[in-house]
């Protein structure tokens, strides 16, 4: 499992190796432990007999090749994932997301008879004013981040079509939940508000996102890993569309803050996509997926986790993330 010390990957590891997991898996996490990778995210499973950790780079072909022959499946989370950082400079996004993914699929092809679940994003579709994207919608990414992810999707799928590699791609909407590195909207706003600081809201706050709880996301990934079809793409959504302004209001309420003293409107992001929305008909009808977590309940639990776990996020240097959102 690549990127298993990050937000989504570590939750998936804890889910599979936890008491409600399938009980028949062992996992090797490969993670370079860049700024958003936190070894503490894996403390809960570190002593599990089915867990092992390798500190390494997915672009290291020799290491990836060695690990690939020892495993029969790969779930690929590792990615540079923050749009604002990609606007500041896209080279690392191309290296990790494109070259890293190519390194993995080439190693899987050479090892033979491997399954690779490639975890991607709804941002590869671009922006949509009305309706929702099906998996067949043409890709139209608008940021260096989403362009690198779209490239990695196409590379992975090309190895299925050319070599018959069992590649399955998931494209999720915006995730939220505990252990989320505080550069994205919800953890950034919550941690700022808990510290009595202002939160930065881009533009007019009208950008709309579909919110997906981390529990529901890993449920969808696991369905694709165990029941998905080779060569297919599956959208995974949460079913709660909110503008950033609406979400900000909910976070202010949850943290006991007020709009006038706690919100600072900032210059909009370059090329900021207005709205994302994925059509989840395929994964629902084929694999039985449905989001289970009520958004208000999930948001309250998330805020409470950050209240209770200052020791996890207070040491984090948010740096320029303090003026960044989604």
Q: How many CB atoms lie within 10 A of CB 18?
A: 12
Q: Take residue 289 and report the two structure tokens written for it.
A: 């997926």
pLDDT at residue number 84: 84
Extended beta strands in 110-266, E state: 115-121, 166-172, 174-176, 199-202, 208-213, 233-236, 240-243, 263-266
CATH 1.20.1260.10 given to domain 7-176+212-238+276-292: no
pTM of the model: 0.95
| Gap between the Cα atoms of 170 and 175, Å rounded | 13
In the block, tokens 């190693």 appear at 107
pLDDT at residue number 312: 94
pLDDT averaged over 10-residue windows placed end to end, the chain, 326 residues? 97 96 94 93 96 98 98 96 85 94 98 97 97 98 95 98 98 97 95 97 97 98 98 98 98 96 94 96 98 97 98 75 43
Chain centroid to Cα 234, Å, comes to: 14
In the chain, what are the domain boundaries? 7-176+212-238+276-292
Q: Take residue 90 and report the two structure tokens written for it.
A: 């896209």
| Gap between the Cα atoms of 53 and 226, Å rounded | 23
Q: Angle formed by the axes of helices 100-111 and 61-69, to 10°?
A: 40
DSSP β-bridge partners for residue 74? 116
pLDDT at residue number 320: 43
Q: What are phi and psi of 34, to 5 degrees?
A: -75, -170
Q: Are the CB atoms for 173 and 165 separated by under 8 Å?
A: no
| Residues with catalytic roles | 122-123, 145
pLDDT at residue number 46: 96
pLDDT at residue number 176: 98
């Amino acid at each position: 499992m690549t990127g298993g010390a990050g937000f989504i990957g570590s939750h998936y590891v804890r889910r599979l190796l936890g008491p409600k997991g399938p009980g028949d898996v062992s996992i090797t996490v490969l993670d370079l432990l860049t700024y958003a990778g936190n070894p503490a995210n894996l403390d809960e499973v570190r002593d599990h007999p089915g867990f092992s950790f390798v500190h390494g780079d997915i672009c290291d072909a020799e290491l990836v090749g060695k690990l690939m022959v020892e495993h029969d499946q790969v779930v690929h989370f590792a990615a540079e994932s923050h749009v604002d950082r990609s606007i500041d400079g896209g080279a690392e996004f191309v290296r990790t997301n494109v070259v890293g993914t190519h390194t993995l699929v080439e190693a899987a092809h050479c090892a033979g008879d491997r399954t690779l679940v490639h975890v991607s994003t709804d941002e590869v579709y671009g922006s949509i004013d009305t309706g929702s994207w099906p998996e067949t919608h043409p890709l139209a990414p608008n940021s260096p981040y989403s362009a690198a992810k779209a490239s990695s999707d196409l590379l992975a799928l090309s190895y299925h079509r050319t070599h018959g590699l069992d590649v399955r791609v998931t494209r999720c909407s915006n995730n939220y939940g505990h252990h989320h590195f505080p550069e994205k909207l919800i953890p950034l706003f919550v941690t700022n508000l808990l510290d009595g600081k202002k939160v930065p809201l881009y533009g007019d706050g009208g950008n709309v996102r579909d919110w997906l709880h981390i529990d529901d996301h890993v449920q969808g990934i696991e369905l694709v890993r165990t029941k998905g079809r080779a060569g297919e793409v599956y959208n995974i959504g949460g079913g709660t569309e909110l503008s950033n302004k609406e979400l900000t209001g909910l976070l202010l309420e949850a943290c006991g803050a007020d709009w006038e003293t706690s919100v600072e409107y900032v210059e909009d992001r370059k090329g900021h996509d207005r709205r994302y929305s994925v059509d989840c008909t395929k994964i629902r009808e084929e694999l039985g997926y449905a989001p289970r977590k009520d958004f208000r309940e999930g948001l309250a639990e998330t805020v409470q986790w950050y209240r209770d776990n200052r020791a996890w996020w207070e040491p984090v240097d948010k740096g320029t993330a303090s003026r960044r959102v989604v």
